[in-house]
Amino acid sequence: MDVLLDIWQRITTPHAMLEPLIAWLTVAAAAVIVVFPPMWRLARHVITIVHEGGHGIVAVLSGRRLGGIRLHSDTSGLTVSRGRPTGPGMIFTLLAGYPAAALLGLGAAWLLSLGYDVGLLWALLVLLALLLIQIRNWFGLWSVAVTGAVVFSVSWFGSPQVQGVFALLVTLVLLFGSLRTSFELQQSRSRRGGSSSDADQLTRLTHLPGIFWVAVFIVAQVVCVALSARLLGFVRI
């Protein structure tokens, strides 16, 4: 009981916002992680976790039956759902993947703007635990478990300063990383032509060109980045 009360107190106690210099250094660190290839290869696994989680959540909300999620070592993933192969449910399920990390980043930015950095970390742990139930391969289990262990360690053992920096770093990597994956998607589509990407599957369902759907992803992500920057005080509009 004491442990539960301790957890609740940690979650509901707001922390002061980071000092501007530390916040901007964290922005720079997030940019380096997303741009620098060796770091991006690791960070991209986190984006894939959220991407596939987005497919899964929307599949369930749209009335489809979630069959399971697989995460692969090459940072690709697969979410299997059962239901009509066409129609709004399938369209929204496909549409959810690429904006998912940016939308989660926006929600994270909102919590951080209220000072709930530890609350954010525990919310991420709950989401990871729910996702873990749906994972259907060993690498996926390992990937989600390691991510959860890192988040838990910081939330439980980190100082308030470390927790604040880590929470902001995760938020920014989600936002920046989401954008990068959409640009990578279009580069891949340009090189290979037709493919089984989300954008190309949406093309087959809607008869709208793949570049249109990539643009939809990017616009949604840019809006999330802009709103998050406003919430976190990096820009004032």
Question: What are the sequence ranges of the domains in the chain?
Answer: 18-232
What's the longest Cα–Cα distance across the chain? Answer: 58
7 phi and psi angles, rounded to 5 deg: -60, -45
The per-residue pLDDT for 193 is: 63
| Mean pLDDT in residue range 173-200 | 89
The 10s digit of each residue's pLDDT in 99-111 is 999 999 999 999 9
Q: What percent of the chain has pLDDT over 90?
A: 86
The 10s digit of each residue's pLDDT in 137-167 is 999 999 999 999 999 999 999 999 999 999 9
Query: What is the sign of the dihedral through the CA atoms of 211, 195, 48 and 187?
Result: negative
The 10s digit of each residue's pLDDT in 49-65 is 999 999 999 999 999 99
Return d(Cα 7, Cα 16) in angstroms, integer.
19
Chain centroid to CA 236: how far? 25
What's the whole-model pTM score?
Answer: 0.94
